[in-house]
Amino acid sequence: MFKKILIANRGEIACRVVKTARKMGIATVAVYSDADADALHVRLADEAVRLGPAPSRESYLLADAIIAACKASGAEAVHPGYGFLSENEAFARRVEEEGIVFVGPKHYSIAAMGDKIASKKLAAEAEVNTIPGWNEAIDSPEHAVAIARDIGYPVMIKASAGGGGKGLRVAYDDKEAFEGFASCRHEAKAAFGDERVFIEKFIEGPRHIEIQVLGDAHGNVVYLNERECSIQRRHQKVIEEAPSPFIADATRRAMGAQAVALARAVRYQSAGTVEFVVGRDQGFYFLEMNTRLQVEHPVTECITGIDLVEQMIRVAAGEPLAFTQAEIARRGWAMECRINAEDPLRNFLPSTGRLVRYLPPATTMEAAAPVPQGGGVRVDTGVYEGGEIPMYYDSMIAKLVVHGFDRDDAIQRMREALNAFVIRGVASNIAFQAALLAHPSFVAGDFDTGFIAAHYAKGFRAEDVPHEDPDFLVALAAAAYRRYRERAARITGQMPGYEMRIGEDFVVVVRGEGGVHEHVPVRVRAEGAVTVELRGKTYAIAQDWSFGGIRAGGSCNGHNFTAQVERDGLWTRVMHNGRRIEALVLSARASELLRVMPFKAPPDLSKFLLSPMPGLLTQLAVVPGQAVHAGERLAVIEAMKMENILTAAHDGVVKEILAAQGESLAVDQPILSFA
C-alpha cells in the first residue's frame, strides 16, 4: 500500500480523498493555485505544493507541475479526482512513465472511452445497446444539417471530448442544427482543445441512468447498482438518487451486465461509470463511460456501504476486489443535492465572493466512514465560513447527501437538511432544490431529463416554491418579534411610565413588489410556547432560536420544524421549505400609516447594460455610436468556466463604454450605456 498520495485537484473532491487516505493511514499532498492558497483542501492535507496562478490552465491543468510536485513531495501515487486532468489519457500515461501510480484506470482505457465517437463503436462491438447516429467527425455546419435531416429531428450535437454539459446542443430544425454545430465546435475547442463533434438521435422523454462499475487488475469487474440522474438543468445534474424510482429489476440487471461487458472490453481497472439514456419503455442505450470518480458517487456509497475512493486506491495498489457481485448490497434510499453558488432568481447566474456565513446541517454520516443503520445526513464540501468562492472554477459549494429507509423518507430528510443549511454572502440554489423536492411529479418519481425545462420554462421565481402553509412563516416572524419585545422589556433603567409594553395585537406586514405589501393582523400570546393567531388559525410555537442566530428549530402544534429567521434592519427574514418572506411587525396604527407612505420607485436602468454576475469581461462586441438590434451580441462574460453572452434587449445606439475588456466585473456593474 502507498505511504503518500498526491491529490491533483481542489475543493470538495480533494477533501473527500483526504478523508479516505487518512482512514487508510496514507499521507496526503495537496496542490493549489494562488486563488486556493487558504482553501480547505490545503488545510486538511498533510502537506501542500503551489502550482501557479489562479486560472486552471496555469495551475491545475499543468501536468508537468503536478508530476514535479509528486517527485518533490515523494508521493508514490496521484489521485486526479474529477474534472481537470482526471480523464486525460496523456496525463495518465505520463504519470505511469514517470514511475508514479495513477489512481484511476489505465491510460488505454481512458483513451478508448474518452473519445465519444470511438467509444460508441467499441460499445457496439461489445454488444452494448447504442443510439442511432453519425459517429464520424463532422466537418461543416452544412454537413451537420444534412446528417440531422437523415437521422430525423430532434438530434443531439455533441463534442467528442465533451463533458459537464459543454459542447452539447439539442437541435429541432435546420437552423438550430447549423448554429448548434458552430457553438459546439467553439466550446469544445476552448474547453477541451478538440473541436470534433458528432450527431445522434435525441430520445424524447429520456431518463439519465448510470451504472457504477469497479474493476481490478486481476480480471474482476462488478457493478454497484444504478444512479438516477435525470433531474438536470442545461445538462448539469442537480439531484441524484440511488436506486432509480423508474427502472425494473430486470432492466437493472441487464444494464449492469452490459456495463460490466463494456468495462471488460477496455480492461478497466478502477471505479468508472457507464451512462445510459433510458426510454419510457425501459429500452436503454449507451451514452458514454466516465473513466473517473463521479460527483454523485456518495449515493452509491450510501446504499452499498462501499467506500469508492478506498476501492480506487486498493485497485491502484494491485489488490483484487474483496467482494463478488453477489455480495454487493442495496439498502435503503440515498439522495444528493448539489448546493451551488448561483442565483436561481437571476437565471442561475454564478455568484462569487466571501462566504459570510456557512453553517451546514448537523451530520450523522461522514465520507470514508461506515453508513449508519438508521441513515442520516452527510455533507461533502471544500469550503468554510469566511472563505472565498473564486470565479475561476465550478460553482459547487457542497454536496448534501441523505440516506433514508425508502424514497419518501429520503425526500423528507433532504427537505429538513435544506432548511438547516445556512449560506450567506453568496447566492445559492437551496430554494430551487427545495422547490424540486416538493414538486408532485418529483415526489411521484414521474420525471425525465426535461423536467426542469418543462416546469420552469420561464426560469425560477420566488412564487414557484410551493408551501403547504405559507401562514406558518408569518406566524414565525410574529413569534420572533415577540422574543425581541420580551428582551427589550427586560432592559433596566427604563423611565417610570414609559416602560416597554409588549401587548398582544400586531400587524405583520409582508413585503411585496412595488411597495404593495400584505398586512396580516395577528394576536400573539406567550404562555410557555408562543401562540400566534391569524386568519382563524392558531400556531403554538416552541422555538429554539437565539438572538443573532439564523437557524431556528422547534415545534409548531406538536410537529417539529427547522427554519431560518434573521433580522435585516427593521425587517425579519423567514425561510422554510424554500419559501422566503420579509416581514415587518407593527402596531395597528403604524400599519395604517405605512399604507399611506409614498413608494420610492427604483431608478430607471434601462439605458444601461449591467453585468448580471461577477466575472471577467472577455469580449466587447460594440463601439460607441454603433446601432444595435434586439438580440445582437454586446459583450461576453466568463465566470466559473462558463461563457455568458449578453445581448441587446431592444434596438438602440451605444452611447458610452463604461468597462474595459479584461476587467473583473461586480454584479450589476454598468458595462455600457445607450443613447
Q: Which letter does DSSP use for residue 172 in this model?
A: S
Distance of CA 408 to the CA centre of its chain: 22
> Nearest 5°: phi and psi at 154?
-80, 155
b/e per residue 39-70 (b: at least 16 CB within 10 A): bbbbebbebbbebbebebeebbbbbebbbebb
**C-alpha grid cell, residue 383:** 469550503
**C-alpha grid cell, residue 163:** 463533458
The answer to whether residues 402 and 34 touch, using CB atoms and an 8 Å cutoff, is no
* Distance set, CA 264 to CA 151, 213, 271, 453 (Å): 31, 10, 13, 37
The answer to whether residues 386 and 409 touch, using CB atoms and an 8 Å cutoff, is no
- Give the whole-angstrom CA distance, residue 476 versus residue 641: 40
Question: CB under 8 Å to 604, separation ≥6 — which residues?
Answer: none
Burial class (CB in 10 A: 0-12, 13-18, 19+), 663: middle
- In the block, cell 451537420 appears at 144
Kind of pairing, strands 333-340 and 284-290? unpaired
Q: Which letter does DSSP use for residue 370 in this model?
A: P
HSE-CB of 675 using CA atoms within 13 angstroms: 11
- Give the whole-angstrom CA distance, residue 261 versus residue 256: 9
The answer to whether residues 213 and 260 touch, using CB atoms and an 8 Å cutoff, is yes
Question: CB under 8 Å to 118, separation ≥6 — which residues?
Answer: 112
Using the Cα atoms of residue 361, residue 366, residue 367 and residue 373 in order, give the sign of their dihedral: negative
The answer to whether residues 365 and 378 touch, using CB atoms and an 8 Å cutoff, is yes
- Give the whole-angstrom CA distance, residue 540 versus residue 423: 28
- Greatest Cα pair distance, the chain, in angstroms, is 91
**C-alpha grid cell, residue 164:** 459537464
Q: Which is the catalytic residue, given 288, 296, 416, 566?
A: 288
Q: Give the DSSP letter string of 239-303.
A: EEEES-SS--HHHHHHHHHHHHHHHHHTT--EEEEEEEEE-TTS-EEEEEEE-S--TTHHHHHHH
Active site residue 288: yes
- Give the whole-angstrom CA distance, residue 59 versus residue 31: 9
Report the side by side order of strands in the sheet with 608-610: 608-610, 670-674, 652-657, 627-628
End-to-end CA distance of the chain: 69
Burial class (CB in 10 A: 0-12, 13-18, 19+), 219: exposed
Kind of pairing, strands 4-7 and 27-33? parallel
- Give the whole-angstrom CA distance, residue 107 versus residue 118: 15
**C-alpha grid cell, residue 388:** 472565498
| Residues marked as catalytic | 288
